[in-house]
């Protein structure tokens, strides 16, 4: 497993990422360039997305600058690569649906897990970022080389998973999903992470699942609405790729996704989770469920669709330090690995 150690302020973390993963970043960007249009890549870098990052989480803008500098690639390309979801919805490139999320909270503890489904061309770029910021808890983040993050957990026991809601409205003045995830992972409790997600503007339709030892919280975010889909105290959190609470629907995107059967696929996966979640009692059960090929939760390209399960995560938030397990690739083919924590001094009792 490739673990990239990123310590210090934003620029230092980015330089470390770019230096350690330079070859992998070049390979990932080559495949991305071949699979996407130059027009969309250039446009994304010129939108207001960077300005929003610099206003809300400026250290993440510096982190991306550091990645570009150390890897020896144009900053505009690192920006556009990190605006992955926004490229999907602004320019309708690789307009696919994917990612299945499950959370369970009971007397036995709190579990949060997901499959992260991405365009097939991203396979092979998987890394885990070990983020050691100047202030705030250490984080372990599933990512693609060159990106600041896809989903993760921090040493304070806060886990954040995300799945795209492509039929919701987007905005080029909102915070891109990669920055929203990392901004939430700076927080020391589920409540603080949820508050962060409620306070920011959002660039694209997303569902965020946030959990700590005290429970679960789900929120569906679009360009104009932020709606709780799983209130605190709920025993279960299940989500795929259609909104359950947010009504800020983009009719053009909804029509396209319905026409191609992608929304139906999302509903089938959610029904499968609802049917089988009672069997999930621990991380092993969660990992086993994510390998399903019948719904399927574990996705490979099919019927002209180019989506593939890029990786999976399974977090046990009922322990301190929390357990964080990652699979870099298809969870029914690749091993699950537990990186462990570098800085036990940061493990403190999570704030309710």
Give the domains, in start order, of the chain with CATH numbers: 3-341 (3.60.60.10)
Backbone angle region of 8, left / alpha / beta, with phi > 0 → left and psi within -120 to 50 → alpha: left
pLDDT of 112 above 90:
yes
Write the pLDDT tens digit of every residue in 121-159: 999 999 999 999 998 999 999 999 999 999 999 999 999
Range name among 41-45, 154-158, 205-209, 212-216 with the lowest pLDDT average: 41-45
Please check the confidence at residue 350 and state whether its pLDDT lies above 50. Answer: no
Tens-digit pLDDT profile for residues 269-320 = 999 999 999 999 999 999 999 999 999 999 998 766 789 999 999 999 998 8
Residue 207: pLDDT band (50, 70, 90) is very high
DSSP symbols for 269-303? HHHHHHHHGGG--SHHHHHHHHT-TTTTSS---BT
* Residue 85 reports pLDDT greater than 60: yes
How far apart (Å, rounded) are the C-alpha atoms in residues 278 and 21?
40
Q: Answer whether residue 352 shows pLDDT above 80.
A: no
Place of tokens 């091993």: 335
* CA–CA distance, 228 with 218 (Å, rounded to integer): 6
DSSP-derived secondary structure letter, 350:
P
Sheet containing strand 126-133, strands side by side: 3-8, 126-133, 139-144, 151-154, 159-164, 206-212, 215-221, 226-230
Alpha carbons 53 and 82: distance in angstroms, whole number: 12
Kindly state the percentage of the chain with pLDDT values over 90: 80
* Cis geometry, peptide bond prior to residue 296 (ω within 30 degrees of 0): yes
CB 104 within 8 A of CB 277: yes
Provide the edge-to-edge strand list for the sheet that holds 236-239.
236-239, 100-106, 109-119, 307-316, 323-327, 336-337
């Amino acid at each position: 497993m490739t673990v990239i150690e990123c310590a210090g302020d934003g620029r230092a973390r980015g330089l470390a990422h770019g230096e350690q993963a330079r070859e992998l970043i070049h390979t990932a960007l080559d495949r991305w360039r071949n699979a996407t249009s130059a027009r969309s890549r250039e446009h994304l870098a010129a939108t207001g997305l960077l300005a929003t990052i610099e206003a809300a989480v400026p250290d993440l803008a510096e982190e991306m600058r550091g990645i570009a500098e150390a890897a020896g690639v144009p900053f505009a390309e690192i920006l556009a690569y990190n605006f992955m979801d926004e490229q999907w919805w602004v320019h309708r490139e690789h307009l696919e649906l994917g990612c299945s999320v499950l959370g369970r909270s009971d007397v036995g503890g709190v579990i949060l897990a997901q499959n992260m489904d991405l365009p097939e061309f991203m396979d092979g770029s998987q890394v885990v970022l070990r983020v050691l910021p100047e202030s705030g808890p250490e984080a372990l983040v599933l990512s693609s080389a060159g990106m600041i993050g896809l989903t993760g957990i921090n040493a304070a026991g806060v886990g954040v998973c995300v799945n795209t809601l492509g039929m919701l409205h987007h905005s080029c003045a909102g915070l891109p999903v990669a920055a929203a995830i990392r901004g939430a992972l700076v927080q020391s409790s589920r409540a603080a992470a949820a508050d962060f997600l409620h306070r920011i503007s959002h660039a694209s339709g997303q569902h965020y699942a946030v959990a700590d030892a005290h429970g679960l919280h789900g929120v569906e975010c679009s360009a104009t609405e932020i709606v709780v889909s799983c209130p605190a105290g709920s025993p279960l959190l299940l989500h795929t790729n259609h909104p359950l609470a947010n009504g800020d629907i983009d009719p053009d995107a909804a029509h396209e996704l319905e026409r191609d059967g992608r929304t139906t696929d999302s509903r089938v996966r959610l029904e499968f989770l609802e049917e089988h979640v009672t069997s999930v009692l621990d991380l092993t059960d969660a990992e086993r469920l994510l390998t399903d090929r019948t719904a399927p939760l574990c996705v490979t390209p099919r019927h002209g669709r180019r989506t593939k399960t890029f990786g999976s995560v399974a977090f046990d938030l009922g322990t301190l330090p929390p357990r964080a397990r990652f699979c870099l690739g298809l969870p029914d083919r690749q091993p699950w690995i537990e990186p462990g924590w570098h800085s036990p001094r940061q493990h403190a009792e999570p704030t309710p």
